[in-house]
Structure 1
Amino acid sequence: MKNYLRLASLLFIFSMNACIDDASNALPTDTCFKKDPIAELPWLKTVVTQFQQPKSGPLKVVLYVYKSEYYIAVNNPLVSSPGSYIFNCKGESIGKLNISYNQFTADALAEKVLLEGTY
């Protein structure tokens, strides 16, 4: 009977550990990206407007979570360095923050598409 109780206790402990959320995937609690970041942040509106010129092709603006922080990516397949168009709340690109583009794309989770269209 003691062995069954020990086994049940161990299974309970392991199951409780499996339910703990990974802090790296937790949503940030504070952000400057509110309801409409494109309209609310002048630097972001300027970047997006540059890509909305005629014949500039498809455009997608996505809000990502990376290491418990929000980032906005301005995606256009014609851009040769896409890492230059992924920004934190202050408008700093991931290159300036010493975040590898490959690491960002591997670990970031898309939270919301803010804009999608062809120009």
Structure 2
Amino acid sequence: MKNYLRLASLLFIFSMNACTDDTSNALPTDTCFKKDAIAELPWLKSVVSDFQKPKSGPLEVVLYTYKNQYFIGVINPLVSSPASYIYNCSGESIGKLNIGYNQFTAEARTIDVLLKGTY
């Protein structure tokens, strides 16, 4: 019985490791979304600064890859329409690009978190 418990524990640990996001510090060099993208892209700086006002809550700026393209998400759990804050390099939201939010979140991979804080 102890062996079965040990085996079950090991399987659980391995399965938890398999479900983690594949985050990497190796940022793309062929896109506008680099480590200092918030400072370099005026449209992104404007969007992020709108969320950095006092009492606006938690904020993350996340770099994603989706179908061989890069996207950046400005994430605040208090926002009712998160699809409006996921952009391509030109600043177009996934809604304008006719990419469904559920489809995007199911297939996108996290590359890096560029900003994380509470405001």
* TMscore range, shorter length: 0.7 to 0.9
Give the corresponding residue for 2:49: 49
Question: How far apart are 1:28 and its partner, in Å?
Answer: 6.6
1:28–1:68 Cα contact (<8 Å) kept: no
> Is there any run of 5+ residues in structure 1 with no aligned partner, and where?
1-26
2:65–2:71 Cα contact (<8 Å) kept: yes
Instruction: Sort the Cα spacing of 1:118 and 1:28 in 2 relative to 1 into closer, same or farther, 3 A.
Output: closer
Question: How far apart are 1:61 and its partner, in Å?
Answer: 0.5
Give the corresponding residue for 1:59: 59
Where do 4+ consecutive residues of structure 1 move more than 2 Å? 27-30
Percent identity, aligned pairs only, is: 76
Instruction: Sort the Cα spacing of 1:107 and 1:45 in 2 relative to 1 into closer, same or farther, 3 A.
Output: same
2:61–2:75 Cα contact (<8 Å) kept: yes
- Structure 1 or 2, whichever has the larger Rg, is 1
Q: What secondary structure sits across from 2:49 in the alignment?
A: helix
TM-score between the two structures when normalised by the length of structure 1: 0.75
Instruction: Sort the Cα spacing of 1:28 and 1:115 in 2 relative to 1 into closer, same or farther, 3 A.
Output: closer
Residues matched between the structures, number:
93
Give the corresponding residue for 2:92: 92
Relative contact order, CA 8 A, sep 6+: which one is greater? Answer: 2
Question: How far apart are 1:33 and its partner, in Å?
Answer: 1.3
TM-score between the two structures when normalised by the length of structure 2: 0.75
CA RMSD of aligned residues (A): 1.4
Give the corresponding residue for 1:105: 105
Q: What secondary structure sits across from 2:59 in the alignment?
A: strand
